[in-house]
Amino acid sequence: MTAWGAKLPPHITDQPVPLDRYPLPEVRGSMEHFIDQKFTALKSDGFEPFVNYWGTYLTNPIGGERRGSAWAQLLVFGGEIHFDSLGWEGGSVFVSATDFAGSNLSEKVGNIFTLSQAVVIDTFALYGLYLRQQLWDDRLDIRVGRISAGQVFATLPIMGLPVGGAVNGNPTSLFTNAPFHATGSASWAAFVKALPTKSIYAQAGIFQASPQTGVPSNHGVNFSIERGDGELIMAEAGWLPTLGASGEKSASPASDGKKTVMPAKTVNPGLPGQYSFGGYYSNYTFPTFSGGVEHNAYGFYAQAQQMVWRSVANADHNLTLWSGLTYSPQESFALLPVMAYGGVAWQGAIPSRDKDTVLFNFYLGGFSRDYARQQAGAGSGWATVETDLEASYIIHISENVSFQPDLQWVIQPGGSSSVPNALVLGFQVSATF
């Protein structure tokens, strides 16, 4: 199976606007408070650091190609240096690195959708390194340098929440069908995003397509452009509504006796959402399942999330629906021509746990007929569709730390009915600063 890059973990997806992404409780231990104080001091000096950690333990007591268990952990850290104090308004430099350790349970189960979102490039690697310029009150964002496509394209805020890596934080089909890359794997790129209004955005980017991208032995520091490298061009447009938001204007007396109307005070924060549509084109060379090569890959995706209910009494109690679809028609080399995914996130399901979130998700991948024919010819059976169902519960231990029990049911691992359906149980621990 072709895999062009590793999937993006949550919290570092550079969304156009925040979407009330399940705020954490104001409860911190002494160490967390110490770290936050240090980060605040650095931010005041123009450096905005971040440190994110995810660790997952998973086991499949039932089904799959063989039984097993796996621990995987990912550390992502870095920061953005702002130059406003030096007279370069809106200018900054972003740098980050990743470190992965552990193993991938999907290698034992035999499924296509990675069971742990923490599984990325298996080494310590330089990740992002780019110059950034923001203009016109951040309505225009320009970046040039080492960037991953998954950091800025085909992602939703809610896609960072599952333990499984099927869509965390980009759909698997983009990695199997194109020279798409994400966490731990960056390439030379140029990116621009414009927000003509607060609720509409459009963005485009061009990325280097190279077999050296994401190779562990390069550790992210192979900056060369070789003969035979190609380009990946991506474009996306989106709508960022807040449905039902309302406010009221308050009046206060002025010194001349007249009343002064104050800015509107929000009464109903509304129901935030994000709707996006995008596509890609690459002039790269792709090996086909029949043994030949083809050029020029293309595909499309559409995805959305929408909060559909929020309690009037407690805004932390809310329900969000989300879904997505990708389509890559070139079945001669696109492993997953069609992928569909979606689910529901219910925050505050337990009244005494306002910040905790229940997740129910599904991921469905339809395999290429050319790939299925190749597998059948090799005696591995005809691959059709893999369906993964996932349920988990995010327990916020503190503002920065969470614990997430997880259950996944994999139907036809690898798309083959000859592999028993697999039950996967485990948990994830995460810390974000």
- Please report the pLDDT score of residue 43 as a whole number: 60
- Please report the pLDDT score of residue 385 as a whole number: 98
Residue 250 lies in a domain: no
- Please report the pLDDT score of residue 215 as a whole number: 94
Residue 254 lies in a domain: no
Residue 252 lies in a domain: no
CB 111 within 8 A of CB 413: yes
Residue 15 lies in a domain: no
Burial classification of residue 24, based on how many CB atoms lie within 10 Å of its CB (0-12 exposed, 13-18 middle, 19 or more buried): middle
- Please report the pLDDT score of residue 46 as a whole number: 85
pTM for the whole structure: 0.86
Residue 321 lies in a domain: yes
- Please report the pLDDT score of residue 268 as a whole number: 80
Residue 7 lies in a domain: no
Q: Could you give the number of structural domains in the chain?
A: 1
Binned average pLDDT, 10 residues per bin, the chain of 433 residues: 36 33 34 52 75 98 97 97 92 97 97 96 96 96 98 96 95 97 96 97 98 94 94 98 75 51 65 98 95 95 97 93 98 98 96 94 98 91 96 95 98 95 98 94
The dihedrals phi and psi of 40, each to the nearest 5 degrees, come to: -65, -40
Instruction: Name 313's Cβ contacts closer than 8 Å, sequence gap at least 6.
Output: none
Burial classification of residue 417, based on how many CB atoms lie within 10 Å of its CB (0-12 exposed, 13-18 middle, 19 or more buried): middle
What is the domain range of residue 235?
Answer: 36-244+269-432
CATH number at residue 130: 2.40.160.180
- Please report the pLDDT score of residue 1 as a whole number: 36
Residue 366 lies in a domain: yes
- Please report the pLDDT score of residue 56 as a whole number: 98
Residue 251 lies in a domain: no
